Structure 1
């Protein structure tokens, strides 16, 4: 199988896409990766839309998308455009279309670009399993092509660009019947539309493959690039985004895991970060993601080229097979390690930095779903008994000096590892980088059932270097579990969130990694309290990355849309309210959608859904099935909880918060 999906797996090279000119702001080719977002004001509110657009442009948006759910909103795009131009704002406008081809055809005459969703545009979506024969399938495709062709011809006539944007949750019944709920189905949904565009000699097209599930999203974009090359189609620009990413830290981490993974491989020509926040908050996050790649090629150190075929399946999640070492590898979830080595002193209460909360009154630790599995204490092992489930890593010399204690686990350099014959009988950690691997070390790793490498890189192109190290282990049939270790300098927390989610999440997406550690060695000294706060934040970040990559679920996941002019309730306020009532439900996924367009389809992965269906009216879903219709908004959260209770999924919050013994 052809696995090629990017210019290089080891060298930073941006994919050279066809240039598409959008209102004088070109995309693709050698042009910068562009930033965009979408308004949340009602499209019929001309002045409100204009004012919000101006704020978005001020925040860094180079394109602004506005919903046009019907002809009247499409027509009002003209008034919005006129007012913006009157105020000296020439930002290209994009009309967002779902179910209304006539609105798209009108908008294409007014704005610089239209976005259509193949699963909603003239296709059928009723969440039914329908058996299509080859002839009936072909007939449906031809019907859709006939409905889509006029829009293509209008865009070609007016010089209007188009985004063919597939959403994971909006695949039609026809696509689902043949391809299933898969990345291949997402790609084929877009290619049906794209082939018609090329038949009409229309090439001003941008493509996207959005999903809330980061694994699915990354696989779909990769497969899209591979299919474009395979079919000899144009290398169209890519619009990157994780749909319904959520809010705050979770939304940023999830966006970075998906978008950053693709940017690392040189894919992507424009970015939209979908946060359940004001749209002007999205552009700065997108800029921070993109900024890492401006000088990447110049700053990157050479990485040993890959010999032979990539040993991974880039279009499907398969975790790297490993043998079990204590509680690493095998069928265990990835573990979290917190670096406490730089704390001046360590007491019971300080373990809160690792997610383990101590109650002096009860003399007990509270168990937590975000309690680290290991702490690293360097040269100073803790002087007290740790709570159940928490284990300690110490430097090799400290382990020897303390009498090679069985409840401490040593970490050592490659040189020390190769010299020593007496190691811990159960678990030994090995600091490892790509340049330290040689034939002798590989032989010992293959034979050692107690070793867990802790891999690191100083390369600016770190994620591909670490991935290359994994390739070396795979091709040499070495199955030891591996911890991914990254260190970041003092910089804004938001930047560290994005960088770590990209570097670590990009590996986890490919099934690589059995543990996560965020090294503090690059951070400046600080007070004890400041260290505790920093370490607690890094611990939460580690768990957040694992959750966003879908490799370890430790908290409730909210699949909430970023709002737009179709939204029927205050998304930020409602999301906060639902989070307050349900954030103790580990592993439950709740979709919060402002309208039926972003309803059951867009939250394809959600266990439960809260969807606006009218002013003050909410529909509640179990998966993709509507269970309660038109619930008054003031009762909707209680009804949602009752639905979980009926399914045996509800746990009272006070039971979760109750302290547990050591």
Structure 2
């Protein structure tokens, strides 16, 4: 059962409530380079990004956001630390959301100025707590180490500042690089507030390790019904973050982004180049939006039966192979024509359906 959270609107996208869990990423381009930033937005949207965040280190970046926002088909978030003037400029330029911690931008007057500005335009703020940057006083009360309780305390500190200013248009994140700590922190805060959550394992690492850590951390919480928007943080092209995020949601059955490929591991019974074949099928499925389950099996004896839940599949062996659907064999073809034969069956099905 999904955790009940309040709905927050980010431009034309709803985060929280009963809205689908959205996938976001962060551009590596400085928005002061507006042409490059706009191009990067279009590229990332093409991969499926539904929210894109930009770091705003200085006023040139804050001012550059205005053109980027106007050119973007998806909501953009300005990531700002310490300088409230950058937040005010981003809001004036039409930004869709801020990632800022109210307690870190100075006096009460500065916080009030930012809150007043976002209130007027119905712009949400994401409060982001990272385990590695908790205030010293919180760390000192928790033996000098980040804990789930300390992270929640840090989040509540910023939340209360906003609530005192009668502002509750908030999204909260509690990121840690240690997966169990991240899971524990979000789970604890979920019992205390009803704000929507942005899930992520921060500093997750390179593609392989980062994907595994993110899938475990984000996936565990989503399976428990916790989480409303996600970012997979990888030391890689942001496009990989989007792909991984979508795969996590697809694997849990929460969203469907085109075909899902299932394939068996290689073994001694395999009589064809299974890895190569699976990669060819994966590439051939790009561009198909129908949420089909496609199987690539290495054994013609057991393949159709083991993958009987697949909409379509292929199973090969010794120079020829089978094309099947829901466990029923459609035809036998030479091994070299397995992929083209599979695509013919898929496209015929799609044409008849639509």
Q: TM-score, normalized by length of structure 1? A: 0.38
Contact 2:170 2:195 survives alignment (8 Å): yes
Matched ranges for 1:461-500 at <5 A: 490=295
Structure with more helix by fraction: 2
Measured in 2, the distance between the counterparts of 1:491 and 1:266 equals: 31
The 1-side partners of 2:175 and 2:61 are apart by 24
**1:277-300, Cα deviation, whole Å (9 max, x unpaired):** 22122212111111234469xxxx
1:149, distance to aligned residue in structure 2 (A): 2.8
Q: 1:49 — aligned with what? A: 37
Could you tell me whether the CA contact under 8 Å between 1:113 and 1:162 is conserved in 2? yes
Match of 2:24 among 36, 39, 55: 36
Secondary structure at 1:227's aligned position in 2? coil
Q: How does 1:623-638 map to 2 (within 5 A)?
A: none
1:175 maps to 2:138 = yes
Match of 1:116 in 2: 100
Please say if 1:224 is aligned against 2:208: no
Gaps of 5+ in 1: 1-12, 123-142, 229-234, 297-338, 346-488, 493-520, 529-662
Superposition pairs for residues 90-109 of structure 1, below 5 Å?
90-109=73-92
Instruction: Identify the residue that residue 244 of structure 1 maps to in structure 2.
Output: 203
Count of residues in Structure 1 that have an aligned counterpart in Structure 2: 272
Superposed CA deviations along residues 557-588 of structure 1, whole A, max 9, x for unmatched, are xxxxxxxxxxxxxxxxxxxxxxxxxxxxxxxx
Q: Secondary structure at the match of 2:77?
A: strand
Q: 1:342 to 1:73 in 2, by over 3 A?
A: closer
1:68 aligned partner? 56
What is the aligned partner in structure 2 of residue 257 from structure 1?
216
Larger radius of gyration: 1
Instruction: Tell me the residue number matched to 1:279.
Output: 238
* 1:198 equivalent in alignment to 2:163: yes
Equivalent-residue separation in structure 2 for 1:236 and 1:244 (angstroms): 24
CA distance in 2, matches of 1:249, 1:267: 24
- Cα distance in 2 for partners of 1:340, 1:164 equals 43
RMSD (Å), alpha carbons: 2.9
- Alpha-carbon separation, structure 2, partners of 1:102 and 1:65: 18
Q: Is the 8 A contact 2:32 2:63 kept in 1?
A: no
Structure 2: unaligned runs, 5 residues or longer: 256-263, 271-293, 298-304, 308-313, 319-354
Inter-CA distance 184–118: structure 2 relative to 1 (3 Å threshold): farther
Higher relative contact order, structure no. (Cα contacts within 8 Å, ≥ 6 residues apart): 1
Pairwise CA distance, 1:247 = 2.2
Which residue of structure 1 lines up, in the alignment, with residue 151 of structure 2? Answer: 186
How many Å separate the matches in 1 of 2:296 and 2:100? 39
Give the whole-Å Cα distance in 2 for the aligned partners of 1:28 and 1:491.
36
Counterpart CA distance in 2 for 1:173 and 1:289 is 35
Q: Is the 8 A contact 1:118 1:165 kept in 2?
A: no
Alignment of 1:392-411 (within 5 A): none
- Provide the C-alpha distance between the structure 1 equivalents of 2:296 and 2:81, rounded to a whole number of angstroms: 40
Q: Distance in 2 between matches of 1:20 and 1:213?
A: 28
SS at match of 1:69: coil
